[in-house]
Amino acid sequence: MSEGKPLRLGLKLWSSNQSSVPEVCRLFENGVIQYLELYVVPGTFRDQGDLWRIDGLPMVLHAPHFGAGFNLSLKDKETANKAMWHEVMQFAQRLNPLGLIVHMGTCGTLMESMRQLSSFDLPPCPMWVENKPPFTQDGSECVGVSPQEIRDVKLHRNSGFCFDLGHALCYAAHMRLEPHGVLQAFSSMNPDMYHLCDGFVGDVRDRHLHLGEGNYDLPALIRLLPEHAMLSLETPKRSMEDLSCFEAECRMVRDMSRACP
């Protein structure tokens, strides 16, 4: 049977998930994942920074977002943002990541987000802006939602792009746009990596569902990806010490990729 489109699959964890390290090693050694995406929880570098130095495992870092208080779009958050950015730089220096994913914030402006980023230390790796859904779960408006906003950040900061497929579908629903056209507009910006989970077409909020729990056309989304694309599955973890459910979802993605031309 054909192996299908070759993809590099990634597991997304938090820097506080130290109990998952044995499972990360198992999944990497068995070829289930090809990299780890690590979300930086503020205040964890001192105790967990060295823990995530896993021999041979490529790493992608994800900066904190508004849930941790990191919000680039608001001027009054700048001092706190800089302190958290400093810790992200410590992780980046220690782990030598392939890239650093950044959100543009909530409830503010894209201009403020870009201004603050311009004043921060440059990371020792490429920076990849991620497109966001129109709203957070509590209804706050996100910044960095549309293809044009992502283009602006890419040009202003010479940034790369982390394409969240579900977020793009949420944007299409909010704007009442045809989903395929929106996906193509984002895809035309040559994403450096991708995020995927399931959800419901027409929903403006990202639900982060397990694959198969929503009604997204997952095979069609997989067909959008170029060969060797880096794809992080952003699905829930039922246990941090047993990632067999995540492993099964990786098999689902591999199976779907076999149908790709």
8 A C-beta contact, residue 91 and residue 15:
yes
Class of domain 8-257 as given by CATH? alpha beta
Q: What does each of the 261 residues of the chain score in pLDDT, given as a tens digit? A: 346 689 999 999 999 999 999 999 999 999 999 999 999 999 999 999 999 999 999 999 999 999 999 999 999 999 999 999 999 999 999 999 999 999 999 999 999 999 999 999 999 999 999 999 999 989 999 999 999 999 999 999 889 999 999 999 999 999 999 999 999 999 999 999 999 999 999 999 999 999 999 999 999 999 999 999 999 999 999 899 999 999 999 999 999 998 776
d(CA 155, CA 181): 22
pTM of the model: 0.96
For the stretch 25-66, pLDDT in tens is 999 999 999 999 999 999 999 999 999 999 999 999 999 999
Question: In the chain, where are the structural domains located?
Answer: 8-257
d(CA 234, CA 213): 13
d(CA 119, CA 225): 34
Which residues are within 8 A (CB) of 250 and not within 5 positions of it... i.e. 6 or more apart? 9, 32, 33, 233
pLDDT at res. 259? 79
d(CA 82, CA 90): 12
8 A C-beta contact, residue 115 and residue 82:
no
d(CA 178, CA 13): 32
CA dihedral angle for residue 153, residue 207, residue 80, residue 21, rounded to 10 degrees: -100
pLDDT at res. 2? 46
